[in-house]
Amino acid sequence: MIAVKIRQEITAAISNATLYTKGKNLGQLRAAFDGMWMQICHSLFERRPTNRTMARKLLNDAMDLEHPKATRDLIQALHDALRSSEHTLFRKDYTDHSSSIENFILGELREIIRCLP
């Protein structure tokens, strides 16, 4: 469902979350995450939302419909990750938020990988 390279990048982040909370690794993880939700949305709905907010709207609408359990779990996991990412992975304020990024990687991101076929 997602490109091997993206999956490898995200799996590497889950294996060593602390390393991916800053600098170049964080930038790569952000790119991988963006690539991942786009590919999952395309695979599930044959649509490519243009940004994370539109993806959240699409997923919220999809949650009202009937889906097999595996798909429903994946939609829920992706929805939770996208919702949380704005305040963790993509947070832009001055404060150090390494711990919230680490929690995001080990929580929401790991859950998506678990739900992926």
Partner 1 sequence: MPSIKSETITITLAAWNQYQQLVRNSADAVWKIRAAFYAVSSALLASGYASQTNFIYLTVPLAAILFLLLEGGHLRLQMQYIKKSLEIERTITDLLVDEKDPFLPMEGISTAISTPTLLEMFALFSPKRYLFWLPYLMIIATAMLLGIYDVHAAAA
Among 31, 61, 99, 114, binds partner 1 (CB under 8 A): 61
Site residues for partner 1, 94-113, by CB under 8 A, read 94
The answer to whether residues 43 and 75 touch, using CB atoms and an 8 Å cutoff, is no
**Nearest C-alpha neighbor of 89 from the set 33, 43, 51:** 33
The answer to whether residues 88 and 58 touch, using CB atoms and an 8 Å cutoff, is no
Asked if 22 touches partner 1 (CB under 8 A), the answer is no
Among 5, 22, 48, 57, binds partner 1 (CB under 8 A): 57
Among 42, 67, 72, 83, binds partner 1 (CB under 8 A): 83
- Check the CA dihedral 98-21-8-80 and report its sign: positive
Q: Which residues bind partner 1 (CB under 8 A)?
A: 53, 56-57, 60-61, 83, 86-87, 93-94
